[in-house]
Structures are given as structure tokens and as C-alpha cells.
Amino acid sequence: MTEPTRPAEAVDITEGKRRVEGGALLLDVRNPDEWHAGHVDGSTWIPMGEVTDRQGELPTDREIVVACAVGGRSARVAEALNAWGYNAVNLAGGLKAWVEADLPIVTDDGDGGTVL
């Protein structure tokens, strides 16, 4: 990943959900075991270590809300994406905050998930 040129904006769960419902891409950058345990339905999964090589899979025409478990990894990815010319924000508190706000997460088969 490149050095960030500026910190990424952090949005809380309410604002992050609003932006995703408005058309932003929710990018989950957690590890495979975390993703399979539970993720936001409809989110895109690219593990943090693969973002550099897979950035071409990301949209340049809409905002990206980046999420991880608590917001640390996603902050670094959002900063890198912004440095590369994307419009990205960090989901503050990550998926742990998402679940604490009583918002759903699912497993690959659609059952209720958990956040590792």
C-alpha cells in the first residue's frame, strides 16, 4: 500500500449505512475467517493484503465505505484508496459497531453471522 496523503474521513454507522443505501460500495477488508463468520449482505470483500493488486475491481464513479472489524485496517485502506484517486471513507467502529447498532450480518449461506 502507498503512503496516505491525508487521513480518510471516518463516518459513524448511521452515516455509513445511509451512504451505502444511497449507492456507495461497502468494501470489507477483513481476513477470510472473519468474512466467512459474518459480513454485511451485499458488501464486496477484498482482504486488506489484496487491495493493492485488486484495486481495478473497485468503482471510480461512486464512494467506497471501507469496513473491517473495528476500524483500524479500514482506515489504512481508505487512506490508500484516496491516495490512488478513489473517494473512500472509513466506517468508524467497523462491523462490531454495525452489530452493536442491531444491523444484520450474514454468513455465505445467508444465516445470521458473527463478527470475529
**Catalytic choice (64, 67, 68, 77):** 68
Q: What pTM, to 2 d.p., does this model score? A: 0.93
Q: Three-class SS of residue 16? A: helix
Tell me what pLDDT residue 1 has. Answer: 52
Specify the pLDDT at position 3. 53
Predicted confidence (pLDDT) per residue in 6-35, tens digit: 788 999 999 999 999 999 999 999 999 999
Domain boundaries, the chain: 10-100
Q: Is 68 labeled as catalytic in the residue annotation?
A: yes
In 22-93, where do the E strands start and end?
Answer: 25-28, 44-45, 64-67, 88-91
Say which amino acid occupies 49. Answer: G
- Give pLDDT, residue 5: 60
**In CATH, what number does 10-100 get?**
3.40.250.10
Residues 88-115, mean pLDDT to the nearest whole number: 94
- Mean pLDDT within 91-101: 97
Q: Which three cell numbers stand for residue 99?
A: 452489530
d(CA 12, CA 84): 23
Nearest to 45 by CA among 108, 93, 92: 108
Per-residue pLDDT at 7: 80
Q: How far apart are CA 53 and CA 55, in angstroms?
A: 6
pLDDT of residue 97: 96
